[in-house]
Amino acid sequence: MKDFEFYNPVKVFFGKDQVAQITGQVPAGSKVILIYGGGSIFKNGVYDRVKSALKGYDLTEFGGIEPNPTYETSMKAVEIIKQKNISYIIAAGGGSVIDATKFIAAAALFKNGDPWKILSEGAEVTEAIPFGCVLTLPATGTEMNKNSVISRKSTQEKMAFSVPPVFPKFSILLPDAAGSLPQKQVANGIVDAFVHVTEQYLTYPVNAPIQDRFAEAIMITLIEEAPKVYAKPDDYEAMSNLMWSATMALNGLISCGVPGDWSVHSIGHELTAFHGIDHARTLAIVLPGLWKTLREEKKGKLLQYGERVWGIKSGTEEERVTAAIDKTEKFFQSLGIGTRLSDYGVKKDTIDRIVTRFEERKWLSMGDRGLTTPQVTRKALEIQL
Ligand code: NZQ
Ligand code: ZN
């Protein structure tokens, strides 16, 4: 096991009766802004529940955060926050609303020029407006981590940042509100959470059995719950299990002391930046392609994964690796998610653009042991054409 530091200060409230907890968490006298997306919170009752918990606070509202939240929209919220001297933010919705809130919270106090530098240059973030989250969509894990992914429309870029000041102060997880999700978003959530686990697990063995078994437990749970919650998003118990799995998949626990490989996400973000494909769907394309390309280098973990997660025990090593990759791709497809670029009308020219971009950014050896070179990225995408 490698050396590690683990810190996660997010207070979690889980379950359908927890919205009222907001009142005890937001300091009295705060000037609050409620940030939300395109309106789902009005349909599933979350808006009314949050409003009633915020009774008595000086409250401003900012709606219209889009899926794959943009710098452009976020900066409009920053203006309002500065004008009104807002001191606390409540984010209500999915990962996009929470990610936008993290960027807004940091940008509003950023004193070093254009806040885009937080994303493009990794400019230092020393402070952020405190915020709490009300989560209605299980997928990203953003409710319990310090990451945020923001897109810039004008340049077709999608970039991430990760800094401690943007840990939420608290997060309220609402499986009942997630019951109103369309099947497509439930499928996205399952795949995103699953790939978060593989990004921290499917590297090479380092004798970290606790982390491996935590990771395998999350994947097995996702595989078991997926058909139930996909068929019936308002199955409260199945949705609860999905929601907690997704949170646990990316709150830092399973990455302690193990190598990571976030290259599936890095490549996937480019597919969203160029074509607007849903985040999880990009992962479902890239992951099988990357594993097929790096099957030799990742063989140790692929065999362990195949055996412990999918029960693949017979056949030669080569056959078992092939079966593990095949099972994973079929799992994504069973949720109505295409795993080929052609399923989304994407052609070879996009592969050229992505590879050129990585070369320009000098992203020449990403991920696990630096294995994801531009050539590997090209091959991984070509396999999935
Ligand atoms: O905008 P509204 O009207 O709220 O509708 C949303 C949106 O259209 C809707 N929705 C949310 N909760 C609902 C609901 N509809 C009905 N009932 C509900 N209960 O679902 C749509 C998608 O929402 P979005 O927030 O975009 O989805 P998700 O949570 O999957 O977030 C995706 C974003 O998170 C980033 C992705 O790149 C993407 O931009 N990620 C963030 C990560 C992080 N911060 O750690 C890690 C991930 O890898 C990921 O990159
Ligand atoms: Zn993701």
From the CA of 67, give the closest atom in ligand 1.
26
210 shares its domain with 118: no
From the CA of 185, give the closest atom in ligand 1.
20
How far apart are the CA of 268 and the centre of ligand 1, in A? 15
Residue 30 to residue 361: CA distance in whole angstroms: 42
Residue 5 lies in a domain: no
Please give the pLDDT value at position 305: 98
Residue 229 to residue 241: CA distance in whole angstroms: 9
Of 111, 145, 177, the residue at which a domain comes to its end is 177
8 Å CB contact between 373 and 365 = yes
87 shares its domain with 193: no
Which residue's CA is minimally distant from atom 48 of ligand 1?
140
Please give the pLDDT value at position 6: 97
Nearest ligand to residue 250 Cα: 1
Please give the pLDDT value at position 319: 98
How far apart are the CA of 225 and the centre of ligand 1, in A? 20
The amino acid that residue 12 corresponds to is: V
Please give the pLDDT value at position 279: 96
For the chain, 385 residues long, the average pLDDT of each consecutive 10-residue run is: 97 96 96 98 97 97 97 98 98 98 98 97 97 98 98 94 98 98 98 98 97 98 98 98 98 98 97 96 98 98 98 98 98 98 98 98 96 98 98
203 shares its domain with 292: yes
User: Residue 34 gets which letter from DSSP?
Assistant: E
148 shares its domain with 222: no
Which residue's CA is minimally distant from atom 47 of ligand 1?
140
8 Å CB contact between 284 and 191 = yes
Residue 187 lies in a domain: yes
User: Residue 332 gets which letter from DSSP?
Assistant: H
8 Å CB contact between 273 and 157 = yes
158 shares its domain with 32: yes
C-alpha angle 134/63/265, rounded to 5°?
65
Residue 292 lies in a domain: yes
145 shares its domain with 263: no
Domain containing 51 equals 11-177
83 shares its domain with 120: yes
Distances from the Cα of 79 to the Cαs of 49, 74, 93, 230, 371, in angstroms?
27, 9, 21, 39, 42
Please give the pLDDT value at position 278: 96
Please give the pLDDT value at position 373: 98
Residue 149 to residue 213: CA distance in whole angstroms: 28
Nearest ligand to residue 284 Cα: 2
Please give the pLDDT value at position 191: 98
Mutate to test the pocket of ligand 1, among 34, 40, 131, 286 (most ligand atoms within 8 A of CB): 40
Please give the pLDDT value at position 3: 97
From the CA of 150, give the closest atom in ligand 1.
39
91 shares its domain with 190: no
How far apart are the CA of 137 and the centre of ligand 2, in A? 13
Nearest ligand to residue 65 Cα: 1
How far apart are the CA of 219 and the centre of ligand 1, in A? 20
From the CA of 68, give the closest atom in ligand 1.
39
225 shares its domain with 367: yes
How many domains does the chain contain in total? 2
Using CB distances shorter than 6 Å, the residues near ligand 1 are 37-41, 44, 67-68, 93-97, 99, 136-137, 139-142, 145, 147-149, 177-178, 180-181, 185, 188, 192, 250, 265, 279
From the CA of 97, give the closest atom in ligand 1.
25
8 Å CB contact between 175 and 15 = yes
Burial 318-349 (b: 16+ CB within 10 A, else e): eebbbbbbebbbebbeebebebbbeebebeee
How far apart are the CA of 250 and the centre of ligand 2, in A? 9
How far apart are the CA of 319 and the centre of ligand 2, in A? 29
How far apart are the CA of 47 and the centre of ligand 1, in A? 17
CATH of the domain at 168: 3.40.50.1970
Residue 40 lies in a domain: yes
Number of DSSP helices (H) and strands (E) in the chain, helices first: 15, 8
Q: What is the pTM of this model?
A: 0.97
Residue 162 lies in a domain: yes
Nearest ligand to residue 182 Cα: 1
How far apart are the CA of 188 and the centre of ligand 1, in A? 9
Residue 151 to residue 116: CA distance in whole angstroms: 10
33 shares its domain with 93: yes
Of 177, 196, 231, the residue at which a domain comes to its end is 177
Of 151, 177, 203, the residue at which a domain comes to its end is 177
How far apart are the CA of 43 and the centre of ligand 1, in A? 16
Please give the pLDDT value at position 1: 95
